[in-house]
Amino acid sequence: MDRVVAVLTGLPPVLVLALVLVLPALESSTLLGLVVPGETAILIGGLVAHTGELPLWAVVVAGTAGACLGDQVGYALGRRYGPRALAHAPGLLRRHADIERARRLVARRGAWAVVVGRWVAVLRALVPLVAGAGGMLWPSFLWANLAGGLVWATAVALLGYLGTASYHYLERELGIGEWVLLAVIAGGVALHVWRRRVRRSRADR
């Protein structure tokens, strides 16, 4: 963990902040989020903020701005091109898409789908496109986009910030090793994958 922190904190803070802005913006505007979740950059930003190289509020602002900007572009593409926007995406991106799941979410939840969908990488990339193609009114999309982006960016940045702080505290006070941290991360990832599969199987039924 210390080696990872050292590498990331060695990057120029301006570059880290640029990644926090750009990667979430690319998620739904280019469908990059189907393969590279944007929260990765915000987590890194929170980690770097914990070292004092960046203010945490700047990470939150950049993450929120990037998320909202990308979603606005995705919405505009959906309004203009509809499903064709996804049809012309590279094959690698289409294979990761779950467009029907995004359509069902938007049909059931309306503008709230924009808020809820932000917490799942695939839906985060697709919901703005589906909302635009489905004719969701722009004012409704806008408020949901702003609210969802702010809450999401704040939570993810805090997770990176506090996660680093908790690791260093436990390492200092309890003497845990990096292998314990890796085991915890692996367990969390496995649980997340299992829960997604359960939800998907229930939705299919």
Average pLDDT, the chain: 76
Residue 14 three-state SS: helix
More confident of the two residues 179 and 183: 183
Lowest mean pLDDT among 1-5, 61-65, 67-71, 155-159: 1-5
85 Cβ neighbours under 8 A, 6+ residues apart = 77, 78, 129, 133
Burial letters 86-101, b for 16+ CB under 10 A, else e: beebeeebeeebbbeb
Residue 64 pLDDT grade (very low, low, confident, very high; cuts 50, 70, 90): very high
Residue 205 three-state SS: coil
Q: How far apart are CA 111 and CA 35, in angstroms?
A: 24
pLDDT digits (tens, 9 = 90+) for 149-169: 999 999 989 888 887 666 555
Q: What is the mean pLDDT of residues 138-146?
A: 92
Lowest mean pLDDT among 39-53, 101-115, 190-204: 190-204
Q: Length of the chain in residues, anyone?
A: 205
Residue 157 three-state SS: helix
Confidence (pLDDT) at 147: 92
Q: How far apart are CA 49 and CA 158, in angstroms?
A: 10
Token pair for 59: 């990470």
Phi, psi of 135 (to 5 degrees): 85, 20
Residue 17 clears pLDDT 60, i.e. is over it:
yes
Residue 178 clears pLDDT 50, i.e. is over it:
no
Q: How far apart are CA 116 and CA 111, in angstroms?
A: 9
Residue 91 clears pLDDT 70, i.e. is over it:
no
Lowest mean pLDDT among 116-130, 142-156, 166-180: 166-180
Residue 62 pLDDT grade (very low, low, confident, very high; cuts 50, 70, 90): very high
> Among 39, 41, 25, 27, which residue's Cα sits nearest to residue 93?
27
For 51-91, where are the E strands, in sequence order?
A: none
Residue 125 pLDDT grade (very low, low, confident, very high; cuts 50, 70, 90): confident
Confidence (pLDDT) at 56: 94
Q: Which alpha helices (H) appear in 52-177, and where do they start and end?
A: 56-81, 84-87, 91-96, 99-109, 112-117, 121-133, 138-174
Token pair for 142: 């806008």
Residue 142 clears pLDDT 60, i.e. is over it:
yes
